């Protein structure tokens, strides 16, 4: 994708627990853009199912993707926005899906997509994310083996999708938020 230096829409995506929200909020302050979270919007729209966490626990992936597509469409018509996009919006679970529609939508908009990944090494990334995922409410009660399988599977799928969608990949490593934001801003210039 070819985008100008003065992007008016920045989408930050990556796996759960990579730091998308913290980086997106700090980036929006630095750019003086509006911060929008797909998780917050989705949580409100899925309230009758117990919010986003409830829909995840009930394995309502189809519903999450349908609602997610509408959220993405709405946000991408705004300007001067940093959009914290949950990676579940990009993962397809067999065949042509709403995730493919989201990817097509990102391709058709004047938007700069920045993917955050923990490390270049996949195994190290999975271990890093697994440590952080253990503290998330929607995985409460999961065994270590079940959670490890989910984190590994989701990460592998996302690793294959991000090159199709992202303009830039930034590895967060063990850097703090300000260091990651600085590298993202450099990529946007």
Q: What is the pLDDT of residues 7-61, one digit of tens each?
A: 578 989 999 889 999 999 999 999 999 999 988 888 888 888 887 777 777 777 7
**Quick one: which of 165, 17, 24, 40 has its CA closest to 81?**
24
pLDDT above 70 (res 2): no
Its pTM stands at 0.83
On the 0-12 / 13-18 / 19+ scale of CB atoms within 10 A, 140 is exposed
């Amino acid at each position: 994708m070819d985008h100008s230096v003065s992007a008016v829409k920045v989408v930050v995506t990556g796996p759960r627990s990579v730091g998308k929200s913290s980086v997106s909020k700090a980036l929006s302050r630095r750019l003086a853009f509006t911060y929008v979270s797909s998780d917050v919007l989705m949580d409100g729209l899925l309230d009758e199912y117990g919010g986003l966490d409830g829909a995840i626990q009930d394995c309502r992936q189809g519903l999450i993707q349908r609602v997610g597509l509408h959220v993405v469409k709405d946000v991408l018509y705004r300007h001067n926005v940093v959009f914290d996009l949950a990676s579940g919006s990009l993962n397809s679970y067999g065949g042509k899906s709403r995730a493919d529609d989201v990817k097509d939508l990102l391709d058709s908009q004047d938007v700069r997509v920045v993917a955050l990944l923990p490390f270049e090494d996949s195994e190290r990334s999975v271990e890093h994310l697994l440590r952080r995922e253990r503290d998330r409410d929607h995985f409460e009660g999961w065994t270590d083996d079940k959670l490890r399988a989910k984190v590994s599977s989701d990460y592998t799928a996302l690793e294959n999708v991000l090159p199709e969608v992202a303009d830039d990949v930034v590895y967060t490593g063990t850097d703090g938020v300000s260091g990651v934001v600085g590298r993202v801003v450099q990529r946007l210039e």
